[in-house]
Structure 1
Amino acid sequence: MEDEEAAAVLRTVGRQIKMWREAAGLKQAELGAAIGYGEEMVSSVERARRVPKSDFLDKADEVLGAGGKLSAMKEDVQKARYPKKVRDLARLEEEAVELGAYDNHQINGLLQTPEYAQALYAMRRPAFTEDEIERHVAARMARKAVFDRAPRALITFVQEETTLRRPIGGRMVLRQQLEHLLEVGKLRHVSIQVMPTDREDHAGMAGPFGVLKLQEGKTLGHFEAHLHNRVISDPRDAQVLDMRYGMIRAQALSPRESLAFIEKVLGEET
């Protein structure tokens, strides 16, 4: 595991499964056969080397007579599957009363469909394993809980026009992604704007970034580039990003114009 917090969760789960298994008088191979997994998988889970899926925990709970104690760990285990940087960002998003993001290479992660995210992670180099791709996609989709929480946060996006046209994952995936943007853009607490390529004045030429405003009034910046993922907490730097984002929104198409623009691009793809 890439961080101690996740490793601690998996060690705890592994010890619990081992204790219940031994109390039931079962060997690892016998438990594996009973729940539909191999001995190696059971051994790896008990040693905190593999992350058990929800199905594993539910079946182990039933076979070992744990009375729901193993199944109750599913939420913590699921979070442990996500990379630490994703968990940290998700925590900030949960606290934010306002979130804003400008993107110029791809559709923002909070707006991505599973298929679009899958295609992005599949093209990474050095290549991810299938398990790593699954973890990253699941983590990205889990962050979408920010759209549904109460009280509602104000969530705004500015997408560069080119992100609407780049066929990540192929034309069908792109069409589904554009349809999803139109759906999300109609939510009352969400605003999606498009920055046309023909704009002469553009405050976002330094690259993509995000701005988060927390309940206590603090403003944070965020950006991810290649191997680096940073939260900007210095008040002066965060203020610069906040001002820059406001200028980008002013230069982009209005939300109403942007949805019409997305519909136009979608029509060109069909």
Structure 2
Amino acid sequence: MGVSSESADEPGWDVSPEDEVAPVVEATGRQIRLWREAAGMRVVEFGRAIGYGEDLVRKVERGARIPRADFLDRADDVLNAEGRLRAFKEDMEKARYPKKVRELKMLEERAVELLLYSNHNIHGLLQTEEYARALFGTWRPTLSQDGLERAVAARMARRTIFSRSPVPELSFVQEEVTLRRPVGGNLVHRRQLEHLREMAELTQVEFQVMPTARADHPGAAGRIQVLKFGDGTAVGRTDDEFNGRPVSDPRQLRILELRYGIIRAQALSPGESLAFIEQVLGET
């Protein structure tokens, strides 16, 4: 078996001691080390057997690197752990993403309806991987390569919402500028627009564009998100009110839904919005 491309120098899933998932990752690494030692294998032999570099194995065992599912699968087989190492895969998958992203993904997985207005960039659920990578690359201070890869992976993981069963109803309203801004350059921009077109054609997705010419609408306060759940409860958030924190109070949610309703009414219809995507694609 050859050595995995996930070498010690590859941007991956490093863990800092301050990370809230560090104890779980450390416990997983400790179990791998105990199983390796019980099998009488040195680190270099174990790494060669599972196809990973010695330095990466050491990082995993001391809890400084989050092992991928493939690492755990191979380790379980080589060490005859009978599924005990594979059992960590779900925890490690969750650990890959920052706490805020994990919490957001959990809410999105419960939601039966999502109302989402974006005014600066394409909404995260609609982003392509290369667009997301280019967008995260604009952050200041600059993300480390490890932080960048972790952020992109976390964003892509949220797209499982489109393959859920039953699929939730999703309503997106995007400011016109978000479709015109060539994040990542012309090729990345074009692929993002093509992806938007595909998403806009999905039955469960209602996609609308807010023209820049609309001089007066209640989106000036920033993004709006409202997630509704099957039990009748909901959670919402906007950038410039309620301290930017999630709210679940019915009165506060009513404010967000009122604003979103006006924004949706003033935006282009879904059919007009699809035509607008085609128009921007033609100009790109």
TM over 0.5: yes
1:195–1:252 contact (8 Å) kept in structure 2:
yes
| Over 6 Å off, 4+ runs | none
Instruction: Determine which of 148, 169, 174 is the counterpart of 2:189.
Output: 174
Instruction: Determine which of 276, 280, 283 is the counterpart of 1:261.
Output: 276
Deviation string 1:207-238 (CA, Å, 9 cap, x unpaired) is 1121111111112113469xx97322233222
Task: Return the alpha-carbon distance in structure 1 between the equivalents of residues 193 and 47 of structure 2.
Answer: 43
Q: In the superposition, relative to structure 1, how do residues 3 and 243 fare at CA in structure 2: closer, same or farther (>3 Å)?
A: farther
Q: Which moved more, 1:137-146 or 1:10-19?
A: 10-19
Unmatched tracts of structure 2, length 5 or more: 1-15
Q: Which residue of 2 aligns with 1:123?
A: 138
Please state how far the C-alpha of 1:62 moved relative to its aligned partner.
Answer: 2.4
Deviation string 1:183-206 (CA, Å, 9 cap, x unpaired) is 011111111100000012211011
Alignment pair present for 1:204 and 2:198: no
Q: Which moved more, 1:55-64 or 1:259-268?
A: 55-64
SS in 1 for 2:207: strand
Q: How does 1:188-203 map to 2 (within 5 A)?
A: 188-203=203-218
Q: Which residue of 2 aligns with 1:251?
A: 266
Q: How does 1:71-90 map to 2 (within 5 A)?
A: 71-90=86-105
Q: Which residue of 1 aligns with 2:108?
A: 93
Q: Which residue of 1 aligns with 2:233?
A: 218
Task: Return the alpha-carbon distance in structure 2 between the equivalents of residues 170 and 147 of structure 1.
Answer: 27
Output the amino acid matched with 1:128. Answer: L
Q: In the superposition, relative to structure 1, how do residues 223 and 63 fare at CA in structure 2: closer, same or farther (>3 Å)?
A: farther
Alignment pair present for 1:64 and 2:112: no
SS in 2 for 1:232: coil
Unmatched tracts of structure 1, length 5 or more: none
Alignment pair present for 1:24 and 2:67: no
**TM-score scaled to structure 2, two decimals?**
0.88
Task: Return the alpha-carbon distance in structure 2 between the equivalents of residues 75 and 100 of structure 1.
Answer: 29
Q: Give aligned-pair identity as a percent.
A: 59
SS in 2 for 1:133: helix
SS in 2 for 1:107: coil
2:218–2:259 contact (8 Å) kept in structure 1:
yes
Q: Which moved more, 1:122-131 or 1:32-41?
A: 32-41
**RMSD, aligned CA:** 1.8
Alignment pair present for 1:11 and 2:30: no
**TM-score scaled to structure 1, two decimals?**
0.92
Q: Which residue of 2 aligns with 1:38?
A: 53
Instruction: Determine which of 108, 129, 133 is the counterpart of 1:114.
Output: 129
Task: Return the alpha-carbon distance in structure 2 between the equivalents of residues 86 and 105 of structure 1.
Answer: 19
2:221–2:238 contact (8 Å) kept in structure 1:
no
SS in 1 for 2:246: strand
SS in 2 for 1:253: coil
